[in-house]
Structure 1
Amino acid sequence: MANDKEALVGMGFDISRVEWALKATGNRGLQPAMDFLFENEGKEVPSDLSTVSESASRPARDAMDVDDDAEDAEALRTLGVKVATDAEAKSIKCSECGKVFRNTALAQFHAEKSGHQEFEESTEEIKPLTEEEKKQKLAELREKMAAKRANKAIEEAKEAKINETIRRKTGKDMGAIKEEMERRQAIKDAEQKKKDKIEDAKAKAAIKAQIEADKKARAEKFAREKALRHGEQIVDAPASAPTASGSTAPVSGVAGKDFKETRLQIRMSTGGQPYTTTLSSDAQLREVAEFLAGQSLAVDVETISFAQHFPRKAFSKSDFSKSLRELGLTPSAVLIATPP
Structure 2
Amino acid sequence: MAELTALESLIEMGFPKGRAEKALALTGNQGIEAAMDWMLELVAQKQREREEGEEREALERERQRRRQGQELTAARQRLQEDEMRRAAEERRREKAEELEARQRVREKIERDKAERAKKYGGNVGSQPSPPATEPGPVPSSPSREPPTKREYDQCRIQVRLPDGTSLTQTFRAREQLAAVRLYVELHRGEELGGAQDPVQLLSGFPRRAFSEADMERPLQELGLVPSAVLIVAKKCPG
TM-score for the superposition, normalised by structure 1:
0.28
TM-score for the superposition, normalised by structure 2:
0.38
Larger radius of gyration: 2
